[in-house]
Amino acid sequence: MHRHVPESWVSSVRYLIEELGADVNARDHNGYTALHHAAARGDNELILYLVSQGADVSAVSRRGQTVADMANGPVQRILPFLSTVALLEGLGSQNNHNCVAC
């Protein structure tokens, strides 16, 4: 459910969660959740859907990255999605302000 869902494909994620019973807080081998991946793409629509389904906005990856950190330029060549950072902070995600791309 993580990286294989194209951006803003809420209907696909909805199917996985609501029809197939996928765990909204499932983690990949690096400890990232679907919410981390949606944040890294700046997909606010998907973020709101995942949160409405119980996604944990306080989730932290094995590298110590919060969901807000992922929207804040988590790797080189990816600029921060400022509206996504603000949305996630408003939802309660901690922002460590560790923008790698800035």
Q: What are the extents of the domains in the chain? A: 10-91
* pLDDT at residue 4 is higher than 80: no
Q: Which has the closest alpha carbon to 85: 100, 75, 73, 77?
A: 73
In the predicted model, what is the mean pLDDT of the chain? 88
Predicted confidence at residue 26, as pLDDT, reads: 98
pLDDT digits (tens, 9 = 90+) for 61-88: 999 999 999 998 766 666 889 999 999 9
Q: What is the CATH number of domain 10-91?
A: 1.25.40.20
Q: What is the pTM of this model?
A: 0.85
Q: Cα-flanking dihedrals φ and ψ of residue 97, to 5°? A: 55, 45
* pLDDT at residue 6 is higher than 90: no
Identify whether the C-beta of residue 71 lies closer than 8 Å to the C-beta of residue 84: yes
* pLDDT at residue 5 is higher than 60: no
pLDDT digits (tens, 9 = 90+) for 17-29: 999 999 999 999 9
pLDDT digits (tens, 9 = 90+) for 33-53: 999 999 998 999 999 999 999
| Rounded to 5°, angle at Cα 101 from 90 and 44 | 35
